[in-house]
Amino acid sequence: MDDNFLTIAMFAILAVLIFFMFRNSRKRKAQAEELQAKIVPGVEIMTNFGLFGTLISIDEVSNVAEIEVSPGNIVRVHRQTVAKVVTAVDSDSPRSVEEAMEIANREAAARENNDAVVGEPEFGERVDTLEEPTAESSKRSAKKDDE
C-alpha cells in the first residue's frame, strides 16, 4: 500500500514539474515575440551588455543590428543582444546629478521655511507629548483631589 502511494506521489510531482516547464517556456516565447514586435528601426534600445542607442536597421539574414550610440557612431551587434526597448522616463525623476541637487536644495529650503513657521522638532530631537485635558480626565483629577 505504501509503495502505491509513493509511486502516485512521484508521478504527481513529475506532472507538476512538467506543467511548470511548459508554462515557463510559453511565457518566455510570448515575451520574445512581444520584444520582436517592438523592435523596429528608430526606437531607443538597450543591449544585454548595457549599450544604449537608437536602432538603425536589422538584417534578419545575417542576424546583425546596427545601433547609433551617438550622432555619426554606428555599432554593429548580433541581433539577439538587443535586450529591451527603452521607454520614456517619468518627468518627475531627475535626468542628471545637477538636476537632482537642484531638487534637493529646493526641498531643503522649503523644509527650513516650514520649520521656522510650524516649529517642528529637528531630526533626533525628543518631543514630550502632552495630553490635552478632556472632560473625562478633569473628572478623574477632581476625584483624586477629593480623596
Q: What is the DSSP string of the chain?
A: -HHHHHHHHHHHHHHHHHHHHHHHHHHHHHHHHHHHHH--TT-EEEETTS-EEEEEEEETTTTEEEEEEETTEEEEEEGGGEEEEPPPPPTTS-SSHHHHHHHHHHHHHHHHHHHHHH-PPPTT---PPPPPP-HHHHHHHHHHHH-
pLDDT of residue 29: 92
pLDDT of residue 90: 47
Q: Is the pTM of this model over 0.75?
A: no
pLDDT digits (tens, 9 = 90+) for 66-124: 999 999 999 999 988 888 888 765 456 667 788 888 888 888 888 877 655 456 667 77
pLDDT digits (tens, 9 = 90+) for 1-33: 677 889 999 999 999 999 999 999 999 999 888
